[in-house]
Amino acid sequence: MAEQPQPISPLKNFFAGGFGGVCLVFVGHPLDTIKVRLQTQPKPQPGQAPLYSGTFDCFRKTLVGEGVRGLYRGMAAPIVGVTPMFAVCFFGFGLGKRLQQRKPDDILTYPQLFAAGMLSGVFTTVIMAPGERIKCLLQIQAATGETKYSGSLDCAKQLYREAGIRGVYKGTVLTLMRAFVVYPPDVPASGMYFMTYEWLKNILTPEGKSVSDLSVPRILFAGGLAGIFNWAVAIPPDVLKSRFQTGGAMCQSEMQAVTLTELVRS
């Protein structure tokens, strides 16, 4: 295995992860809105066309019907949570690596990197679950024809008023599942992400040089490809999570009570 860079302090991991998370939300939220709307669209009646025929159709209808702002529905919740979430994620990854090192310069195996990445996912679920719940509800409410929530704070207040803290944290187990199998801040997916990221950086490092000498384009390529591996295992539990968390709003005509068992069967 190629030489790994010297460990970075937890404080630097915290700020680097937080800044990276904010950048991620600004760039990725429109695509996330489309993803959630496709995942949660109601099943069409016999003889009727689905609300969205695919990714580009959903993008076009959202842009035409709601403008650019429609693509950024519910962004306040992840923006508020993403800095501590990603900061804790990278802090957890650094901690996971240190816990497995006998000496600071010990080189970890790929299974050890996977385990360190999983630890980062456990740390972030507590922050991520309520933000995901609020975000998904705001992203799909335009499609339901009902404006129940005026914003992220109003959504959180109403959820708490209706069902207490359990209402805000609905879908936590599925968020943890997604983590156990994605997205840098969730658990085997986190493990998959960080392990693949380190593996790709090692492969891309020229012989005789250190990983810390990699160019920015190569680091971006490694991170992007690691994200593909990450989402390859994350999509199934993510679909369940999105449907479960929006169960009361997305399919009023066909399901008044959404359970995990019913979602798995579908």
Cα 32-191-6 angle, rounded to 5 deg: 110
The answer as to whether 192 is a domain residue is: no
Question: What are the pLDDT digits (tens) for 188-202?
Answer: 566 777 788 888 988
The answer as to whether 170 is a domain residue is: no
Q: What is the DSSP letter of 214?
A: -
Please report the DSSP string for 124-146 in residue order: HHHHHHHHHHHHHHHHHHHHHT-
Position 119 scores a pLDDT of 76
- List of the chain residues with pLDDT < 50: 1-3, 180-186, 249-266
Q: What is the DSSP letter of 170?
A: T
Question: What are the pLDDT digits (tens) for 232-254?
Answer: 767 777 787 788 878 754 444 33
Position 10 scores a pLDDT of 62
**What domain range includes position 81?**
8-34+54-105
Position 157 scores a pLDDT of 92
The answer as to whether 195 is a domain residue is: no
The answer as to whether 2 is a domain residue is: no
The answer as to whether 235 is a domain residue is: no
Number of domains in the chain: 1
The answer as to whether 25 is a domain residue is: yes
Position 189 scores a pLDDT of 62
The amino acid sitting at 132 is E
The answer as to whether 214 is a domain residue is: no
Query: pTM score, two decimals?
Result: 0.61
